[in-house]
Amino acid sequence: MRRAHSAKRLPVDLPAAAVETADASLQAALQAFLRELWHLGGYSERTVDAYGGDLAAFFGCVARATGRQAGLSDLDAAHMRLWLASQHARGASPRSVVRRRSALRRFTRFLTREGLLESDPAPHLPAPKIGRPLPRALDAGKLKQVLEGSWGSSALDLRDLSICELLYGAGLRVSELVGLDLTDLDVDGGWLRVMGKGARERTACFGTHAKAALKRYLDVRDQLYQQGGGTEAEAAALFLNARGGRLSTRSVQRIVGRRLWDPALGKVNPHLLRHSFATHMLDCGADLRAIQALLGHRSLATTEVYTHVSIAKMRAAVDKAHPRSR
């Protein structure tokens, strides 16, 4: 299953800064690169926009250093090192510098492949070391209390509950959730088809609580579509807003933050529910490979971060309870 991107603004327009700081050949190359990321690479709109902004900032650095618009001949290791060093000097986080380095490397690799550069100048750019922060997970018991609390019975209430149950019950990314269509869902079977990062399709499973919430929502979903007057294209979407259109990621973030706010939980966002899904699965004995498949991680190393979370919890339990640890 390959689903086309939503009918929003295509993120292939050049950043305004690139128009000012790059010559025509470099502008054309950047636009072709962003189009490829969007149409063929399966990258999100946010990622494509971020890469475009990073490269426009790099062109600006080159323009200031040369006193003219940047061109393809200016894409060399010296200018790239200069720009990355300036990011360090301005206090950019190591993670941000790594992303900007990645933008440079992907762009120069694209240019080399297209014959616009004779050789790739970026493979050996230095990268800062970044530690991998341990993901925070919600307390399972407290989250259960909130999910089983009073939510109301309107169509929007039932939609919001099913969103939260599915994010936590299947470990979905928010972008994956809003991209779901009705045809992706098998409620009785307890599974759904998900289009993840890099346009990689996977099967995700969910349990009885998410199943019950989805069934109640589906019984009233058409009320949102009919009252809002959504388009035929939007009729395929699983989760709708009050106007009958496909729900946006920003809306889901607001719904989760508002609906799951509780003094015992603190501030909750969709990705925190994904972290909690993986951590609670591991705590209850799930196989790490199974969690990797459910989350859609390409590498097992990405999933292994959750083992460190569980080890930290075990360490805290020993320190608190064992008589020789006090």
Catalytic machinery residues: 173, 197, 271, 274, 297, 306
Residue 119 class from Cβ within 10 Å (0-12 exposed, 13-18 middle, 19+ buried)? exposed
Alpha-carbon gap, residue 134 to 215, rounded angstroms: 35
- Contact between residue 106 and residue 40 where contact means Cβ atoms under 8 Å apart: no
CA dist 123 to 77, 79, 98, 116, Å?
Answer: 9, 14, 13, 16
End-to-end CA distance of the chain: 55
DSSP 260-307: T-BTTTBS--HHHHHHHHHHHHHHTT--HHHHHHHHT-SSHHHHTHHH
Residues with Cβ within 8 Å of residue 292, at least 6 apart in sequence = 300, 302, 303
Residues 6 or more apart in contact with residue 168 via CB below 8 angstroms: 143, 147, 210, 273, 276, 277
Q: Which two structure tokens, joined as six digits, stand for 60?
A: 């600006």
> Is 137 exposed, middle or buried (CB count within 10 Å of its CB: 0-12, 13-18, 19+)?
buried
